[in-house]
Amino acid sequence: MPGESTPFATGSPRRLAAILAADIAGYSRLMGSDEEGTLARMKRHRREIIEPTLQEHYGHLIKTTGDGFLAMFDSPVEAVRCAVVIQQSLAARNTTLPRSQWIQYRIGVNLGDVIVDHDDIYGEGVNIAARLENLAEPGGVYISGGVYEQIKNKLVCGYQSLGDERLKNITDPVRVYRVLPDPAAVSQATRHRGRWAALAAGTVLILGTAGWAVFLAREPPPQRQADALATPPVSAPASVATPAQARTPASPAPIPSAPVPSADPAPPAGLPTPPAPLAEALPIPIQPTPAPAPPAPASPQTAVLVPPRPPDAPPAFGTVFKDCQQCPEMVRVPGGGFRMGSDEDPTEKPPHPVRIQPFAMGRYPVTVGEWSQCVAAKACTLVLQGDPASPARNLSWSDAQQYVNWLSTSTGQPYRLPSEAEWEYAARAGTATRYWWGDRLTPRMANCKGCGDPYDQRQPLKVGSFQANAFGLFDMAGGVAQWVADCWTGDYQGAPSDGSARTHSNCRENVLRGGSWRSDATYVRAASRASYDTNVRYPAHGMRVARNL
C-alpha cells in the first residue's frame, strides 16, 4: 500500500509537510481482466495527468508503488487542490471507456511531521495519509482534521465530517473529512463511515461534471500587482503599441508592417479599463449599440438639393471596436498568408502554408469582469472571483463555449473561439520568429515563469500589463493559456490550409495556445501547442474571443 512506512529513520531531518497518498481501486481485478491495457493506461495517466499536475501544484513525487504513488507538498491547500485536479482529470478520461475499464484512484491527504531520508519519507504523518487513502471511496478525496483546519476558508468547496476514526496502528483517533463537490452538497450528504462503496459510481460521475471545478476557484488573491506594475515601461518599437499608447485618443494610422490599433479613452498608468461592476452594468441580455436614426424627410414646400453621399470607407485594420458597452474590445485583423508551425516540437510539424481571411479578435483575454456579465445573465455557470481586470481563468473548453454562445445571442454578432491557425497568425503579427518580438526572450514582454519582472508566481497579471504586438493584441504570450476551437491532433498532417478549425464529433481534448504564467518560455512561443480535456477546468486556462467581420 502506498505510504506505509517504518516509524523511525535514524539521523534524518524532520519537517512539517502535507502528504498525499493514492492508489488504484480494484487494481487486481483490472490487471486480471486486461493486464497489458491496464498497465498502458496507468502509465499514460502518470505521464499525462499525475506528474504534470503535481508539478503545477508545487508537489514532489516521492515514489511510485505499483498501483499507487506518494507525494509531498509544502502547502496543504496545494495538496488538496492537486488531488481534486487529478480526480477530475481521471474522471473525464474514464467517460469514454466501459465502466469495467475505469481507473479510479483513492486519495488521502494528511498534514504531519515526517522524517525525510534520502529519496523517501517516514513517520506517522505518512501512515495517516495512507490510512485515509484506504478509507476513501474510488474517485474520492479524504483529508485529516489538520488539513481541514488549514484549507476550510481557502477553497470554495464542501466538507463532510465523518467524525473521529480509529486508524490501524495510529494511537489517537483522527478526525476525517470527505471533500465534496460544492458547499451545497454538505446538507445533502449522508453522514457515515467506512468505504461508502454504494456511492462510488455516483461520486465518479460527479467528479466528471463541472461541479468539481468549483474546488479550483481560488480566493481573491492579495494585491501585489500594483507595485510590480509601477516600474516605468520600456520603450516599444515604432510598430508596437504599448497599453498607454493604445489608449491615447488618436486616429488610426497604418504603418508599414501592420496597422496600429486606434485608441479610446483610457485609465491612468496604461492599464486597460476595468469592466463596470455588476451593479452598474447594462441590463442583461446585453443590447447591441443602436444604429443612428435616418434623417427626417424634407418638407414638400422646401426644395433641398442634397448631393449624393459618398460610400463609407471600410474601417482600417488594426482599429478597435466594441459591439456593446460590456462586450470585449475587438481588433480588426487583416487577412494574409503565413507559415504555421515549427520544427522545434513533433506536435508542431510539419510547418505548412496557411491563408487567413480578415477577422476580428479580442484585444485582451476575456476578463473576470466580462465573464461576470455572462454569469449575471445565467448563461455561464462558473462564478469567478478576483480583480475585474484580471484574465478569467479556471475555464474548461465547454465553459468558453458558453461565453461565446451568450455573446453571440446578446449582440447578434457571430462570436466564436478563434481557430488554431487564426490564433497563431494573430500571435505572430507578420513575423516568422519564435516570439512576435524576435528569436530571443526579452524582459517585460511575456508573463511566464522565467520571463522576468513583473511577475507573480501565484496568479497572472492584469490584462494589458505587457506590450501589444504589431496587430494591437495584448497578452499573446503567457498570462493564461487560451482555448481555441480545434480538437487536439498530435501533429499537422492533413491540416487545412484555409485557416479553418479542425473539429470532429466526440472531441475529448481541445487545443490551448499561448502558455500561461506558470509555463516556462518555451511554451509562450508563437508555435507552441498544448491540449487538455474538453470538459475539465484548470486554474491556468482562459480564453480570447474572435468573430467574423
Q: What residue ranges define each of the domains in the chain, with the CATH number in brackets?
A: 14-216 (3.30.70.1230), 257-289+315-549 (3.90.1580.10)
Predicted local confidence at residue 152, as pLDDT: 83
Q: How far apart are CA 425 and CA 427, in angstroms?
A: 6
- Find out whether the peptide bond into 259 is cis, omega within 30 degrees of 0: no
Q: Which three cell numbers stand for residue 213?
A: 471545478
Which among 362, 386, 364 has a CA at the least distance from the CA of 375?
A: 386
pLDDT at position 502 over 80: yes
Q: Which three cell numbers stand for residue 464?
A: 494589458
For residue 393, name the pLDDT band (cuts at 50, 70, 90): very high
Q: What is the pLDDT of residues 81-107, one digit of tens each?
A: 999 999 988 988 888 888 889 999 999
Spatial CB neighbours of 312, under 8 Å, sequence gap ≥ 6 = none
Cβ distance 194 to 94 under 8 Å? Answer: no
49 against 278, higher pLDDT? 49
pLDDT at position 12 over 80: no
What's the whole-number mean pLDDT along residues 115-121? 84
Cβ distance 398 to 536 under 8 Å? Answer: no
Beta-sheet pairing, 481-487 with 320-321: unpaired
366 against 35, higher pLDDT? 366
Q: How far apart are CA 191 and CA 17, in angstroms?
A: 29
What's the whole-number mean pLDDT along residues 442-449? 91
Q: Where are the alpha helices (DSSP H) in 95-219?
A: 124-135, 145-151, 185-188, 200-207
Predicted local confidence at residue 311, as pLDDT: 57
Spatial CB neighbours of 538, under 8 Å, sequence gap ≥ 6 = 85, 216, 394, 396, 532
pLDDT at position 253 over 70: no
Q: Which amino acid is at 500?
A: S
* 269: phi then psi, degrees, rounded to nearest 5: 70, 10
Q: Which residue has the cell 466580462?
A: 370
Which among 318, 505, 522, 491 has a CA at the least distance from the CA of 420?
A: 491
% of the chain at pLDDT higher than 70: 73
pLDDT at position 20 over 90: yes
Q: Where are the alpha helices (DSSP H) in 333-430?
A: 368-376, 397-411, 420-428
Q: What is the dihedral of CA 489, 41, 139, 164, to 10 degrees?
A: -140
For residue 119, name the pLDDT band (cuts at 50, 70, 90): confident
Residue 246 backbone zone (phi > 0: left; psi -120 to 50: alpha; other: beta) = alpha
pLDDT at position 281 over 50: no
Within 323-464, strands assigned E span 330-333, 336-340, 352-356, 359-362, 415-416
pLDDT at position 493 over 70: yes
For residue 215, name the pLDDT band (cuts at 50, 70, 90): very low
- The CB density around residue 236, as the number of other CB atoms within 10 Å, is 17
Q: Which pTM was predicted? A: 0.51
- The CB density around residue 296, as the number of other CB atoms within 10 Å, is 6
pLDDT at position 245 over 70: no
Which among 540, 544, 534 has a CA at the least distance from the CA of 511?
A: 534
pLDDT at position 126 over 70: yes
Q: What is the pLDDT of residues 140-195, one digit of tens each?
A: 999 999 999 999 878 767 788 888 888 877 878 899 999 986 554 444 444 443 34
- Mean pLDDT for all residues in the chain: 78
Q: How far apart are CA 87 and CA 208, in angstroms?
A: 8
pLDDT at position 512 over 80: yes
268 against 126, higher pLDDT? 126
For residue 534, name the pLDDT band (cuts at 50, 70, 90): confident
Q: How far apart are CA 34 and CA 374, in angstroms?
A: 46
For residue 309, name the pLDDT band (cuts at 50, 70, 90): low
pLDDT at position 476 over 50: yes
Handedness of CA 489, 491, 496, 497 (dihedral sign): positive
Q: Which three cell numbers stand for residue 395?
A: 475555464
